[in-house]
Chain A
């Protein structure tokens, strides 16, 4: 692992060898600014068949990236959704063609705040335009065009990935035959915004952050960023799950140290997660992406009506929530189901009973994975038949 000072230099070298689409079409952002000729980094798994009816688009969550499965070539760690995506798994790459793009504002090759601003010839930092979930989704539509896919078999995503998916369906109602939004919400709640603000404030309170200008010095506000990540990790676990996993267990010691070192296992876990994160993620990207999540309110876009957002939906939905998820609760997910029902859409809903909290969608949760697989396989049969007719 290189020193942090060289982090971006090292990352940018590695990022030169990944798949990127140069999006030439100008993209007018919600904030009013326009971006053009920007990179959209993506990865694909499996093979697109001749009928082009086996494509599944995956939207990633806040700290995810395009490397859904196998080994992430940048971090050399497993892809973030290996539990669900791969040969023989729920999203079977022997059968389906899986696509995932890095969101704009991110830091895995798509245009983001650590990239060079063509005007100033320096990294953007806070000069990067504030982006929204809708902007992210619109950017990714270009990729489908590039890959020659008119209609996806399915689009899916958990957490912020689910939000992108809802936006995608509302903006492009005829682009997906089916959709599986997982553990998400149609708008960020006060609690969601508060937790994101906590993460942002942690980054901004780090003196190294320096109003986002740290990128010019090729350093990273790692203390602030690590705390931001710790906040996230607390919100991804349930109270019961955390108690069962850590309890009051001490970290490789027999008794308290009477110090502020990580005595408890839960402290050690958070520190580990926090400091591992700074090796692969840009602090300014966290600011921009969390902002996009906070601004997300699908009903606001459609004049106060979520039902209106899903009008004339032909897409077949399966909404999945997890019983112990307090970040995007079963109720948040059910509100989406209610709106889809009210609009007359084809919708299924399943609440998976688990103690593992919001994180469940990333874990080996058999009931969840079986449901996902069953839905995809039945949708594939239907989609093939529909195409034949």
Chain B
């Protein structure tokens, strides 16, 4: 189930990326996205991953991966050494997401970030009607064991980019198999109906 949903998100990310580019995938997991990008778009991929089993899995697949922590080890990548840096659903798990984001924008000419949208209507109603921290398919953890320290909504990240003078090139909302473009004009409604938000920024 999770895999299917992940694949949709990866598909959207792949569509955002031009062929034959250099892409760094932060928190690349078992290398599924890297594999997809290499096969379908001839992209030169690199991954950074913390978990040893995932690292091993990437190596088995012949995907270049560096075992390390994105929170503390992004300094190893030189300025603008990648065309794109991808961060899939982990921004909210960092202690200092702003610092990480700054680093991503330093390393990549452009950055793609996806976030689980805390503004999704089901999430909102869980908290509003039941007074409990929301547990959904996109946010499967309970309050006491969640790795997510800095949950935000699509609107929050939108405003954040505006505030920090980060250029938003494209935002895509994902709900199950449906995707839609998000702009300032439809932000309120899309913030309510998207499970995941994918930002292309620079």
Contacts and interface: CB of A to CB of B under 8 A. Distances in A.
A318 B61 CA distance: 13
A348 B76 contact: no
Interface in A320-375: 334, 337-338, 341-342, 344, 346-353, 367, 370-371, 374-375
Contact of A349 (B60, B62, B68, B81): B68
- Chain A contact residues: over half helix, strand or loop, or mixed? helix
Nearest to A343: B78
Interface stretch (A76-84, A193-201, A245-253, A376-384): A376-384
Contacts of B21: none
A280 interface: no
A346 B22 CA distance: 11
Given A367-B52, A371-B59, A341 B65 contact: no
Contacts of A337: 66, 76
Interface in A267-307: none
Contact of B81 (A334, A341, A348): A341
B56 A374 contact: yes
B59 A348 contact: yes
A20 interface: no
Nearest to A381: B62
Given A371-B59, A374-B59, A378-B59, A351 B76 contact: no
Interface string B51-82: 01001101111111111100000001110010
Contacts of B68: 334, 349
Interface string B113-132: 00000000000000000000
A316 interface: yes
Contact of A353 (B52, B61, B77): B52
Contacts of B81: 341-342, 344
Nearest to A378: B62
Contacts of A349: 65-68
A336 to B, nearest CB: 11
Interface string A55-93: 000000000000000000000000000000000000000
Contact of A347 (B60, B61, B64, B78): B64
Contact of B64 (A334, A346, A351, A370): A346
Contacts of A346: 64
A338 B67 CA distance: 12
Contacts of A316: 64
A349 to B, nearest CB: 4
B66 A347 contact: yes
Interface residues of B, number: 18
A348 B58 CA distance: 9
Contacts of A338: 76
Query: Range of interface residues on chain A?
Result: 20 to 34
Given A348-B65, A349-B68, A350-B67, A374 B78 contact: no
A353 to B, nearest CB: 7
Most B CB within 10 A of own CB, among A318, A377, A378: A378
Given A337-B76, A341-B77, A375 B59 contact: yes
A350 B64 contact: no
B66 A348 contact: yes
Most A CB within 10 A of own CB, among B59, B61, B64, B68: B59
Nearest to B55: A350
Nearest to A338: B76
Contacts of B58: 348
Nearest to B75: A338
B11 to A, nearest CB: 25
B150 to A, nearest CB: 27
A344 B22 CA distance: 10
Contacts of B66: 337, 341, 347-349
Nearest to A380: B62
A374 B65 CA distance: 13
Nearest to B77: A341
A348 B55 CA distance: 9
Interface string B69-111: 0000000111001000000000000000000000000000000
A378 B64 contact: no
Nearest to B44: A346
Contacts of A334: 68, 76
Contacts of A352: 52
A382 B60 CA distance: 12
B60 A374 contact: yes
A341 B67 contact: no
Contacts of B60: 374-375, 377-378
A342 B80 CA distance: 11
Interface of A: 316, 318, 334, 337-338, 341-342, 344, 346-353, 367, 370-371, 374-375, 377-379, 381-382
In order of increasing CB-CB distance, the 7 nearest A-B pairs are A378-B62, A374-B60, A338-B76, A349-B66, A348-B64, A374-B59, A350-B67
Given A348-B63, A378-B60, A382-B62, 12 more contacts: A341-B77, A341-B81, A342-B78, A347-B66, A348-B58, A349-B67, A350-B67, A351-B52, A375-B59, A378-B59, A378-B62, A379-B62
18 contacts: A316-B64, A341-B81, A346-B64, A348-B55, A348-B63, A349-B65, A349-B67, A349-B68, A350-B55, A350-B56, A350-B59, A353-B52, A367-B56, A371-B56, A374-B59, A374-B60, A375-B59, A382-B62
